[in-house]
A and B are shown apart, each in its own frame.
Chain A
Amino acid sequence: MTTKLPPLVLHLLAALGCLVLLVLLTLVTDPFTNLRIATVGYYLIAVAGLALLTGFNGQVSLGHGAFMFIGAYTVALLVKRVPAFPIWADLLLAVLAGGLAGLLAGAAAARLHGPYLAGATLALAVGLPAVTQRFPDLFAGSNGLSFTVNSQPAGLVGVVPPTRWQSWIVWLSVLLALVVLANLARGRLGRTLRAVRDDEVAASLAGVHVGRTKILAFLVSSACGGLAGGLQAFLLGTAAPGSFTPALSLSLLAALVLGGLGSLWGALWGAIALVYFQVWTDDFAELLSLRSDIADNLPLALYGVVLIVTVLAFPAGIQGGVRKLWVRVRRPAPSQRGES
């Protein structure tokens, strides 16, 4: 490349290209596949947020589902109680709510290490949904909230199927958030995050404020979680405690490890695996026509097997494998090596 564009412009152009591709993809697929594509979108941003926290900053969070919970309930309550707000304002507030919660959680977490941090965040995932039981009038208890989101401009109703329109909104939001994340990861914050991950003492000697960096990582990461939850609520029209179990938080982390910890690309593979692996194994289990108690649990078991095998074969996840392959393909032309 002869003239070097600034990263922000590059990232924006890449995001625009992805958006065009995704719109094309939704145009050639049926309405239900559109819904699945959108599902990949919101999982992607949740896992990407976690990638920043865990992959770049080395803080393990077993409670990211809690931030999705906050985002989902923010959108749900806004849609129900403040119907005049447009959906983008609801989503923005979901990001803010998630970020705020992350700021508080981060302030506590910055003092914790390793298993203690994991335990504290897990407590968040276990405890927070119980709030719905405490205030059943506001949060509707175990039943949760159910609503219909009106987001389609009047001119497009009936022209674009609802799920297609929703997938566009989801991916527009996700790509914008990814641009922000990619810039942060490449810029100064990304460097300080990695410095703190690798050696806190060295980082602080170099003038990095360790605590502040850790809190900032939590804030950005949980804002992404909030957005993911908000998008989920927007997409499915529901927010219920049964959707935000500790299992969700654990599966986000598992998806990140499967995809590859150190990069935002890993989040993409992880999100795709999270959605499509279930689909494939379900179809597979159906094909085998097994006894119901085996077939019902087969998808989860297979997911576990694939996770273990992937991590054994490629310790850096799917992205690590992809990179290895890429390097092997590119090796014959060492002169072209350089920053991509």
Chain B
Amino acid sequence: MRSRRSVTAIALACALVLAACGGAGETPAAGGGDKGEPAPGVTDTSVLIGSHQPLTGPAAPGYSKISVGAKAVYSYLNDNGGINGRKIDYKVEDDGYNPTKTVEVVKKLVLQDKVFAIVGGLGTPTHSKVVEYLNSEGVPDLLVSSGALMWDNAAKNPKTFGYQLDYTREGKIQGQYIKEKFAGKKVGLLVQGDDVGTDTQKGLDQFIKDQIVSRQTYDPANTDVTPQLSALQAAGAEVVVCECIPAFTALTILTSLKIGYKAQLVVSSIGADPATLAGLVEQFAKQGGAQVSGAALLTGIIGTRYLPSARSLDDPWTAFFKQIHDKYIPDEAFTDTLVYGMVQAYTFGQALKAAGKDLTRQKLVDAMSSGELKGPGLTPFAFSKDSHAGYTGALVFQIAADGNVTTLQEAKTTDRETGPVSDYKAAQLKPEDVKLVG
């Protein structure tokens, strides 16, 4: 019975080793915090930053172009001498919108590539898994590409800053608009089954709680939204608020067509880029063996936006970004999604410049919370010592038959609590006002 004895011995040895550690969910005594090293990823001539983006997977249709836009802006900045004499080296890792992969690639960026900061990490289900890690390692985690409220927690996550309009603020602006223009109509919700849904509802409920007749959620891993839309149809919703990533806005449009459901679609900024949507609708229909006109199906859709439209070339910022686009990525379609990445990169450039020549991680974080970042957006950032929320408001627009957008309601701003939704009047800054290079 030699073998049985050895099993017992090994089991005992393992038990002894393992008993030495505490409960798996308990917090260990030693805390993380700032490491006292000189800034990683920074040399006299370069600064290395990283990002995780869905280049493949369910969120890739549309969002895979964000980093393409960002890269073009960094190339533009680098070709004009860089920021404070440093060229920006931008490393994008594909996480496929899969939280497990996100943790892997972010640890790779931090441990192996030793990036100075993470910029524009994309997605709520994905980025929420690395916030704690980045903050405990002291890595600046700037301009997160998601509107969840959780990025705005300066006390718990001092290194994390939002970027886009948060879902509660957006919900309030949508709710106020629907209450005014679609009074008494039945409203249905289709939201992603995470913070997108709960945070948005917090905002919508302040205005149209009694109008909402049905609330449906989808999971990005399951591309069939027929059950959800049938439920909304059965509930008699005349207005459908879709808080969906681009692929699911497109699926909603196509599925509505398939089941013969005609409701006024109100799409939030995360999935309301007309050019991207038109492309996706046509592509998905083609994969399903049908020929549709994206422009025709999109006509009349109402959306919210806090950045200049890629369509309005008379906007000085759009013109500025179009120049960069024409020079560096002329083959890519110039869409709102591309502009999103370009504005994000430009905003990071501003923060990096404000952090000064003698660069440390803390100085970059201080520059973000200084409240002095003003840029291409239609509404201001909320950044301050206490708030790490990004854009604070949006305008409401409608897609016209020719693919252009008409503004239905000028930009309004609000807060993430129960404050009023008020007009925003200040004049927009021009590219010349916040010149970074040249």
Give the contacts of A69-119 with B (CB-CB under 8 A).
Answer: 75, 78-90
- Is the CB–CB distance between A83 and B24 below 8 Å? yes
Residues of B near A18 (CB, < 8 A) are none
- Is the CB–CB distance between B10 and A12 below 8 Å? yes
What is the size, in residues, of chain B's interface with A at 8 Å between Cβ atoms? 56
- Is the CB–CB distance between B2 and A6 below 8 Å? yes
- Is the CB–CB distance between B21 and A242 below 8 Å? no
Find the B residue at minimum CB distance from A91: B24
- Is the CB–CB distance between A143 and B7 below 8 Å? no
- Is the CB–CB distance between A241 and B221 below 8 Å? yes
Give the contacts of A100-140 with B (CB-CB under 8 A).
Answer: 126, 129-130, 132-133, 136, 140
Find the A residue at minimum CB distance from B10: A12
One of A49-57, A152-160, A189-197 at the interface: A152-160
C-alpha gap A232/B94 in the complex (Å): 19
One of B99-107, B202-210, B352-360, B384-392 at the interface: B99-107
> Is A211 at the interface (CB under 8 A from chain B)?
no
Residues of A near B99 (CB, < 8 A) are 144, 238, 240, 242-243
A308 to chain B, nearest CB (A): 20
> Is A172 at the interface (CB under 8 A from chain B)?
yes
Take A142-B194, A157-B28, A240-B99 as given contacts and tell me if A87 and B21 are in contact as well, using a CB distance cutoff of 8 Å.
Answer: yes
Residues of A near B104 (CB, < 8 A) are 35, 39, 236
- Is the CB–CB distance between B18 and A86 below 8 Å? yes
Take A8-B3, A9-B6, A142-B192 as given contacts and tell me if A88 and B25 are in contact as well, using a CB distance cutoff of 8 Å.
Answer: no
Find the A residue at minimum CB distance from B53: A296
> Is A297 at the interface (CB under 8 A from chain B)?
yes
Residues of B near A84 (CB, < 8 A) are 23, 25-26
Residues of B near A284 (CB, < 8 A) are none
C-alpha gap A155/B28 in the complex (Å): 11
- Is the CB–CB distance between B132 and A243 below 8 Å? no
Take A146-B129, A236-B129 as given contacts and tell me if A242 and B27 are in contact as well, using a CB distance cutoff of 8 Å.
Answer: no
Residues of B near A315 (CB, < 8 A) are none
Take A142-B192, A236-B104, A240-B99 as given contacts and tell me if A6 and B3 are in contact as well, using a CB distance cutoff of 8 Å.
Answer: yes
B16 to chain A, nearest CB (A): 11
- Is the CB–CB distance between B100 and A296 below 8 Å? no
- Is the CB–CB distance between B132 and A296 below 8 Å? no
Q: Which of A31, A130, A133, A150 contacts B25 (CB 8 A)?
A: A150
Q: Mark A161-184, 1 if CB is under 8 A from B, else 0.
A: 001000000001000100000000
A149 to chain B, nearest CB (A): 5
- Is the CB–CB distance between B22 and A143 below 8 Å? no
Residues of A near B197 (CB, < 8 A) are 141
> Is A204 at the interface (CB under 8 A from chain B)?
no
Residues of A near B192 (CB, < 8 A) are 142
Chain B: residues with CB nearer than 8 A to chain A? Answer: 2-3, 6-7, 10, 14, 18-30, 55-56, 58, 60, 64, 67-68, 94, 97-101, 103-104, 107-108, 111-112, 124-126, 128-129, 132-133, 192-195, 197, 217, 219-222, 331
6 interchain residue pairs of minimum CB distance: A83-B25, A143-B194, A32-B111, A243-B100, A296-B55, A141-B193
